Amino acid sequence: MTERYEITSILQRELVTDPDVFGAIVAGTEGEPGVYMESVHFLLKMVSGLPNRRPAWFFDVAQQGEALTDVGTHVVDLVQWMLAPGQAIDYRKDVSVLSARRWPTVLSLADFQKVTGEAEFPAYLSSSVKNGKLDYYCNTSVSYRLRGTHVKLDVLWSYEPPPGGNDTHYAV
């Protein structure tokens, strides 16, 4: 997975796997997990003052998938890569999903037009359009146990960042 090759991820793993620096991972609880990661992304990104267009199919979860199957796979991989380096994980005995939820980022037609350049919502999105707004199911929160350690992951998509802002990744 690509996040493994980011220098910040490499440094974090080195620190977490060094008991003289980090100590031992705490198991935590579902309410206060031993590991928490949050990845925040934005649908509208400006490059040289112009919107970086996304194709309309990006907003079709039947084609693109939801947040956990997109960005979330990288975050899940980072947890496993840091907590069980070089070890195989058997999902049947090593992983227990405790809870999960999903919710949409709601886009007006004007928002959709600005991000995609399309004049209208495509017909294949009609089941996700309510009262002229698109419910784009791109936000996911999942809590699980990995070999006894409680993990919580939040993968979030907002419409646009605050001025000067960008995507963020947070890990504790």
| CB-based contact 121:134 (threshold 8 Å) | yes
Average confidence (pLDDT) over 17-36: 94
Alpha carbons 64 and 61: distance in angstroms, whole number = 5
Query: pLDDT band for position 50 (50/70/90)?
Result: confident
Query: pLDDT band for position 1 (50/70/90)?
Result: low
**Residue 116, pLDDT score:** 97
The dihedral through the CA atoms of 59, 60, 61, 65 has a sign that is negative
Matching residue, tokens 């359009």: 129
Mean pLDDT taken over the chain: 93
φ/ψ of 49, rounded to 5, equals 80, 0
**Residue 69, pLDDT score:** 77
**Residue 65, pLDDT score:** 84
SS3 for 55?
A: coil
The H or E element spanning position 103 is strand 95-108
Contacts of 152 (CB under 8 A, 6+ apart): 30, 33, 35, 36, 37, 141, 142, 143
Alpha carbons 11 and 165: distance in angstroms, whole number = 23
pLDDT over threshold 80, residue 136: yes
Q: What pTM does this model have?
A: 0.89
Q: Which amino acid is residue 94, in one-letter code?
A: D
pLDDT in tens, 68-81: 777 888 999 999 99
Range with the poorest average pLDDT among 19-33, 42-56, 67-81, 132-146: 67-81
Neighbour count for residue 169 (Cβ, 10 Å): 18
**Residue 37, pLDDT score:** 96
pLDDT in tens, 162-171: 988 898 988 8
**Residue 92, pLDDT score:** 96
pLDDT in tens, 79-128: 999 999 899 999 999 999 999 999 999 999 999 999 999 999 999 999 99
